[in-house]
């Protein structure tokens, strides 16, 4: 009896195991079908199956193509991908209607300006060219953005630098980060010079012409070519007049500027005689032009005598004296009092 029960239990247990296995097989998910990606971003110089195909399974790490250059983008035709994975038993690839896969090579960009600043800083430190921000660096060949691996750490570093102060020529070798342990070498050459900001004119200015904000431009010029009297601040020239005719594009010198003339040559002006207790005015004719504060010669049209006076405003010249005898120059009909004669 006991043996019979044991046999019945064993048969029941086997039936349960078979049922469970059948149920598990029925509910197990179907393997995901491999599908072509529209875009792939790779971080090395090799493109692998898994970069291009979703659900590539155990062959995902198999290399099949060479990656584009750092920072570049390429495209792989869908037919080429199908052909490449066929040899690795990846069957039933769904292209999802795509004709190609866009492949982007990831990178870290080092701007050309960063390299320029590094060289300027080295020139400043090693050769005493002054503040790095005032050093102008020009490369013999156009320097473009440098692309390095995303995993590369650090910044470019000067390994060697030569500089000829007379010609301004430099030769530099830079170590460029390429990976965690390795660095690549980049050789650059060109010219460098310490510069200063100067004020230049955008257009020619005639003698006596006023200089306005729209007339000036701040430029950098080599320090060796700039004299000590060169104007470096635009506020030093705005509102001033050209002492001589000035050409456009030329750095302005202090000697090129003067206060604007308030009296023009041959202009009719008001002569103001100032003596103790008396102020008299008469008409005069300027023998020369002058700015505020200038001493000019003016013909007194009543006395026909030429006097020296100071320009104090537009068309107004003051003749000062400590002696009242200047009143003799005034016509007798004029009262010798503090009246204004015109």
Looking at the structure, do residues 118 and 189 belong to the same domain, yes or no?
Answer: yes
pLDDT band (50, 70, 90) for residue 31: low
Both tokens of residue 79? 């037919």
User: Are the C-beta atoms of residues 141 and 186 closer than 8 Å to each other?
Assistant: no
User: Are the C-beta atoms of residues 163 and 191 closer than 8 Å to each other?
Assistant: no
Give a yes or no: residue 238 inside a domain.
Answer: yes
Backbone angles phi, psi at 296, to 5 degrees: -130, 165
Looking at the structure, do residues 213 and 254 belong to the same domain, yes or no?
Answer: yes
Give a yes or no: residue 164 inside a domain.
Answer: yes
What digits encode the pLDDT tens for the residues 114-137? 999 999 999 999 999 989 999 999
Q: Tell me which of 80 and 261 has the higher pLDDT.
A: 80
User: Which CATH number fits the domain that encloses residue 219?
Assistant: 3.90.1210.10
b/e map 177-212, b = 16+ CB within 10 Å: beeeeebeebebebbbbbbbebbbbeeebeebeebe
Q: Tell me which of 54 and 342 has the higher pLDDT.
A: 54
Residues 6+ apart with CB under 8 A from 161: 119, 122, 123, 126, 170, 171, 172, 173
Q: How many domains does the chain have?
A: 5
What digits encode the pLDDT tens for the residues 150-195? 888 888 999 999 999 999 999 999 998 876 555 688 999 999 999 9
Both tokens of residue 201? 């004119």
User: Are the C-beta atoms of residues 91 and 104 closer than 8 Å to each other?
Assistant: no
Give the residues across from 54 on adjacent strands: 35
Range of the domain at 52: 35-106
Q: Which of 211-220, 271-280, 316-325 has the lowest mean pLDDT?
A: 316-325
Alpha-carbon distance of 57 to 90, in angstroms, equals 9
Query: What's the pTM?
Result: 0.60
């Amino acid at each position: 009896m006991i043996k019979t029960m044991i046999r019945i239990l064993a048969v029941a247990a086997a039936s349960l195991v078979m049922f469970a296995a059948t149920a598990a097989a029925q509910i197990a998910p179907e393997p995901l079908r491999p599908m072509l990606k529209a875009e792939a971003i790779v971080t090395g110089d090799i493109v692998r199956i898994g970069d291009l195909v979703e659900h590539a399974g155990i062959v995902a790490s198999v290399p099949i193509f060479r990656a584009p250059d750092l920072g570049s983008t390429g495209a792989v035709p869908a037919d080429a991908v199908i052909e490449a994975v066929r040899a690795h038993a990846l069957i039933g690839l769904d292209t999802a209607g795509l004709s190609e896969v866009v492949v982007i090579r990831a990178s870290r960009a080092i701007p050309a300006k960063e390299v320029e600043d590094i060289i300027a800083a080295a020139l400043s430190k090693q050769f005493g060219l002054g503040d790095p921000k005032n050093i102008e660096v020009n490369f013999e060949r156009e320097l473009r953005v440098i692309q390095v691996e995303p995993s590369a750490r650090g910044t470019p570093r000067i390994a060697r630098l030569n500089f000829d102060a007379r010609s301004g020529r430099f030769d530099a070798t830079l170590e460029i980060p390429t990976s965690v342990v390795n660095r690549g070498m980049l050789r650059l050459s060109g010219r460098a010079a310490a510069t200063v900001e100067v004020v230049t004119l955008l257009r020619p200015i005639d003698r006596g012409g006023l200089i306005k904000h729209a007339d000036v431009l701040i430029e950098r010029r080599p320090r060796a070519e700039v004299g000590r009297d060169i104007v470096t601040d635009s506020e030093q020239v705005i509102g001033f007049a050209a002492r001589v005719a000035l050409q456009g594009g030329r750095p302005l010198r202090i000697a090129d500027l003067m206060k604007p003339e308030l009296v023009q040559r041959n202009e009719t002006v008001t002569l103001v005689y100032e003596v103790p207790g008396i102020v008299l005015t008469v008409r005069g004719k300027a023998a020369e032009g002058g700015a505020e504060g200038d001493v000019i010669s003016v013909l007194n049209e009543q006395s026909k005598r030429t006097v020296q006076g100071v320009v104090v405003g537009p068309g107004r010249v003051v003749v000062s004296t400590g002696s009242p005898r200047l009143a003799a120059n005034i016509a007798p009909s004029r009262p010798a009092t503090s009246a204004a004669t015109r």
